[in-house]
Amino acid sequence: MEGTRREFLGLGAAIAGASAAGCLGRDGDLAADDAAGSAPQVDAPVTADDPDYVDVYDAVVPSVARVQTYVESRDTVFGSEEGGPAGQGSGFLYDETHLVTNDHVIGDPDAIRVRATDETWVNASVVGRDPYSDLAVVELDGELPGDPLPVVRELPPVGTRVLVVGAPLGLSGSATQGIVSGRDRTIPASTAPGRFSIADAIQTDAALNPGNSGGPIVTLDGTVVGVATATRGDNVGFGVSARLVNEVVPALVETGSYDHSYMGVSVAPVDPLIAAGNDLPDASGVYVDDVVPGGPADGALRGSDGETTVDGASVPTGGDVIVALDDAEVTDNLDLSQFLALETSPGDAVAVTVVRDGDEETVDVTLGERPEP
């Protein structure tokens, strides 16, 4: 969704330090480590008392691969230098010929090679990339030993046990266990920073380490619920949700890109300060701070026209407060971003209910397409 200076201040506080969970640079080249220890690695001991984890690992791991990118040369402060391995992450079979991974894993490579858990290497090429969801699809010039992994339509509840399979630190076939520890999160898009965020992210306490990015987060029936993307701390990791994967990946396979809906507004959640400064009865809804000139909402929605001070803080005033989109209630930025990401496409006309000058009214906004990052 459209970000703002206020939104990203709040987001930074919540996810500050969130980092890509998996792109190892060339200085972190771990080919030697991988060659020396290619046996499957499991973060916590799996015993006969944990048959579910053993079974799901055995079923999933043949469908997961290490993704290695290469560049022919690099531009440095000293000029152009010889290239080589550029980044590394994980990926999983989406269909017989396509592998899903993260956009930040792929970058802008001159070559891609995928290493299966049977230690065979397969060349690959980029089919599609979407920086706004941090998803990418590569086409394989060969076969992996596993079958495509199914992607769920609806996310499981918090507390559901999951396994993350990938190649952290270049160690192919590694697994870590945990649970779904949160849903409906919003995280920064590492390859499209500053203006937009990834909606509907899934949170897990399973360990995510450099190299896990792009690997599947699966339930114990072997279905994908997320794509490992970012981590903050030892037990706070995030993945692109299966619901967003189902929206974006088919378009990447078919056309090479995905068009995200765009409203053209800068927003902030209505907190107690904004509510007090704008005489709102409740701290609920999404405050419109600015409307992009010439954007989809220009002429329909109204941004700030002043400011006031509440408890020593400067607070914008005069902007619309979005409280519903079509028939869906909007209580915060998450509701807005998820509706735009999962329920709409560019060109859709959306009935936007706002509180303006103390009264509730509805205006129509025809959504546009997000600009290039």
Q: Where are the domains of the chain?
A: 5-249, 261-369
Q: What is the CATH number of domain 261-369?
A: 2.30.42.10
Q: What is the pTM of this model?
A: 0.83
Please give the Cα distance from 32 to 135 (Å, whole number): 28
Map residue 115 onto helix, strand or coil.
strand
Residue with structure tokens 């199914």? 150
pLDDT band at 46 (very low <50, low <70, confident <90, very high): very low
196/227: higher pLDDT: 227
Please give the Cα distance from 22 to 210 (Å, whole number): 4
Read off the pLDDT of residues 99-111 as tens digits, 9 standing for 90 and up.
999 999 998 899 9
Read off the pLDDT of residues 47-77 as tens digits, 9 standing for 90 and up.
434 568 999 999 999 999 999 999 887 676 6
pLDDT at 17 over 90: no
Residues marked active site are found at 104, 134, 213
CB atoms within 10 A of CB 233: 9
Structure confidence at residue 79 (pLDDT): 64
CB atoms within 10 A of CB 88: 29
Structure confidence at residue 15 (pLDDT): 36
pLDDT at 350 over 50: yes
pLDDT at 193 over 90: no
Among the four given CATH numbers 2.40.10.120, 1.10.1040.10, 2.40.37.10, 3.90.1310.10, the one describing domain 5-249: 2.40.10.120
pLDDT band at 31 (very low <50, low <70, confident <90, very high): very low
Please give the Cα distance from 51 to 60 (Å, whole number): 14
pLDDT band at 21 (very low <50, low <70, confident <90, very high): low
